[in-house]
Amino acid sequence: MKAMLEQPNPVSGILEQPIAVNGTPILAQDIAAEMQHHPAESAEAAWNSAVRALVVRRLLLDAAEAAPDADEGDAIDALLARELQVPQPDEAACRRWFAAHPERFGTPEWWEASHILIAADPEDPAERTAAEARAKALLDEVLAVPGALPDLARRHSDCPSREQGGLLGRVARGTTVPEFETFLAGLTPGQVCPVVVKSRYGMHVLHLHRHAAASPADFEAVREEVARDLRRSAWQAAARQFIAVLVARARIEGIDAATLSDARADGPLVN
In order along its 271 residues, the chain shows pLDDT tens digits of 333 333 444 444 433 578 999 999 999 999 999 998 988 888 888 898 999 999 999 999 999 987 777 788 899 999 999 999 888 899 999 999 988 888 788 778 899 999 999 999 999 999 999 999 999 999 999 999 979 999 999 999 999 999 999 999 899 888 888 889 999 999 999 999 999 999 999 999 999 999 988 777 888 988 999 999 999 999 999 999 999 999 999 999 988 766 665 555 445 444 4
Q: Would you state the pLDDT for residue 12?
A: 47
How far the first Cα of the chain sits from its last, in Å, is: 29
pTM: 0.56
pLDDT of residue 261: 54
Question: Domain extents for the chain?
Answer: 2-88+225-262, 110-212
CATH topology of domain 110-212: Chitinase A; domain 3 (3.10.50)
Cα angle: 21, vertex 27, 29; to 5 degrees? 150
Closest by alpha carbon to 149, among 133, 172, 135, 166? Answer: 166
Q: Which of 200, 197, 11 minimizes the C-alpha distance to 123?
A: 200
Alpha carbon distance 83, 136 (integer Å) = 57
